[in-house]
């Protein structure tokens, strides 16, 4: 979708992703906790890179590169279900596992939200977070996101079974087996311009 972004935060820059940048992402590290293995970026070949980029950037979708101030791609934001009439969109964020503890994610989220509400003048931003991902949930709540409803999504991680592995016993309650597959309980959340502007997170951030 033809949406332009060129924003600078305190730690990162957000710009429309170029297909050439996807090659960098194939060199990213892997999550040490294999619960998050499905967030590892695949080791795509060139033709797969092009297909992935087209899927993420056509129709009512857009893909945003998160780079540090040296130009390294440290993550990306996938915007989807962009509705220009209703002024709403959904998003998901993925970071290089080797860069997660550097504050890039929180800076990228704040920079995105300010652009989304203040420049695009959109009204609502949606996301879906797994119930077991408490760290992400707390960040979203601090930004002003509110829970809308509970949903279930397919758990597309074939490296682990959180229902049988004792390592994940504390979060196994969030997983169920249905139709021969594993599903995970999730929370759909929304952020409005008003909630973002009044959130303590934004005030502390500025």
- How many beta carbons lie within 10 A of that of residue 37, not counting itself? 15
The domain of 194 spans 6-204
Residue 200 is predicted with a pLDDT of 66
- The residue-averaged pLDDT of 100-112 equals 94
- The residue-averaged pLDDT of 55-67 equals 97
> Which range, of 21-25, 112-116, 188-192, 200-204, averages the lowest pLDDT?
200-204
The H or E element that residue 186 is part of is strand 181-192
- The residue-averaged pLDDT of 84-105 equals 96
Give the whole-angstrom CA distance, residue 104 versus residue 114. Answer: 16
Residue with tokens 């820059």: 13
Residue length of the chain = 206
Question: Does any domain span residue 149?
Answer: yes
Residue 206 is predicted with a pLDDT of 47
* pLDDT surpassing 50 at residue 143: yes
Question: Does any domain span residue 17?
Answer: yes
Question: Does any domain span residue 1?
Answer: no
What average pLDDT is seen over the chain? Answer: 95
* pLDDT surpassing 60 at residue 21: yes
- How many beta carbons lie within 10 A of that of residue 61, not counting itself? 18
Question: Does any domain span residue 14?
Answer: yes
Number of domains present in the structure of the chain: 1
CATH number, domain containing residue 36: 3.40.630.30
């Amino acid at each position: 979708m033809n949406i332009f972004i060129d924003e600078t935060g305190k730690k990162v820059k957000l710009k429309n992703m170029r297909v050439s940048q996807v090659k960098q992402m194939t060199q990213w590290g892997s999550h040490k906790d294999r619960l998050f293995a499905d967030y590892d970026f695949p080791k795509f070949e060139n033709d797969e890179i092009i297909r992935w980029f087209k899927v993420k950037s056509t129709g009512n979708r857009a893909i945003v590169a998160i780079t540090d101030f040296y130009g390294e791609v440290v993550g990306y934001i996938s915007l989807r279900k962009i509705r220009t009439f209703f002024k709403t969109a959904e998003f998901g964020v993925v970071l290089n596992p080797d860069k997660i503890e550097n504050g890039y994610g929180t800076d990228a989220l704040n920079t995105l939200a300010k652009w989304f509400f203040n420049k695009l003048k959109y009204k609502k931003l949606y996301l879906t977070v797994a119930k077991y991902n408490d760290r992400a949930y707390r960040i979203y709540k601090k930004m002003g996101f509110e829970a809308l409803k509970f949903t279930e999504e397919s758990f597309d991680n074939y490296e682990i079974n959180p229902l049988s592995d004792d390592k994940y016993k504390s979060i196994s309650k969030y997983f169920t087996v249905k139709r021969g597959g594993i599903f995970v309980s999730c929370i759909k959340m929304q952020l409005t311009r008003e909630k973002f502007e009044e959130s303590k997170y934004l005030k502390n951030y500025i």
